[in-house]
Amino acid sequence: MTRTIPQADWQTLDALRRGFLSPGPGGLRDYWSSNHALEQYDATFAQRIRWKWDAVLDELRANPAWTLPGGMALLDWGCGTGVAARAFLSAFPAMRDGDVMVSDRSGRACDFALGRIRDEHAPARLSRWSGGELPAGTVVLVSHVLDELPGPALQALLALLHQAEAVVWVEPGTQALGRALAGLKATLLDRFTTVAPCPHDGPCGLLQPGRERDWCHFFAPPPPQAFQDRRWSEFGRRMGIDLRSLPTSFLAMRRAAPSPVDCPPPQARILGRPRPSKGLVSCLGCDPSGAIVETRVLRSHDRATHDRLRDGGFCLRVSASIVG
């Protein structure tokens, strides 16, 4: 595991997982009962979340439309053990020179996250965010909170995000959460332009009538140690988790629209997993107009695109001329 533990406390991990799977956002509570629980979580569940963040941030690093000015602040909202901030600072080390802040309903979690961030990155200024106005030029990270937020808390978060310079929001790639995140995008379009995953800057086409069974999600790649370390194998078996599958829904937005020179050429984004069959790959794509289209690529017509889609991956795009 990325952060090893001498012996997994299965009782603690079982209790945490039961809490995560409890239905509905109504009964919010602080499930960080001790530093021991945070340590156990950070070495297991949080690492799988970090794998998702790594995939999302790798995509953003390669996207010229994500280029942001220096001297920005960073806020990890609902930080837990601070895994989102740690991943972000690894991907964008220049952010260590600005203010790095954490926020969580649990003071114990904030203290733990501050310690982990300090150990890994030693940012110039690290603090617990106390609320109020965000510093100018703040990037806000939101991770795996949507199913825990009752209506008033979600509205308060959206109001906070409207103060930000940029937002990266990562959630599990379930149907309910993927569709919910797509709906929230529409509430932020008055303030932000979309960088990823959408190839357009309009409302999500998946929310149109007739698309109720579809949702925006992708599959992050697990690192090699997920299959090479027996501790991960035991964790997956005991927790009933398929370590090969990291379904992820996410949204990256920034306040200022990128200049035309920064914008990549129009491409359709492939949703979910392509479906290969003999000599053919079928997939669902979101095209630059915002339309959701079924796409079929014959190997005999376009071998390179066919083979790339067949092999899969997190950031799959095809020329807009192919979809349809």
Domain boundaries, the chain: 10-260, 266-319
Q: How many CB atoms lie within 10 A of CB 13?
A: 19
For the stretch 87-132, pLDDT in tens is: 999 999 999 999 999 999 999 999 999 999 999 999 999 999 999 9
- Report the chain's terminal Cα–Cα distance, integer Å: 43
Q: What is the mean pLDDT of residues 137-155?
A: 94
> Is residue 26's pLDDT more than 50?
no
Contact (CB, 8 A) for 42 and 12: no
pLDDT in tens, 159-190: 999 999 999 999 999 999 999 999 999 999 99
What rounded mean pLDDT belongs to the chain? 89
| Mean pLDDT within 119-147 | 95
126 closest CA partner among 113, 138, 139, 107: 113
**pLDDT mean over 222-249:** 90
CATH superfamily of 10-260: Vaccinia Virus protein VP39 (3.40.50.150)
Q: Residue 31: is its pLDDT beyond 90?
A: no
Q: Percent of the chain at pLDDT above 90?
A: 65
SS3 110: helix
Output the pLDDT for position 71: 81
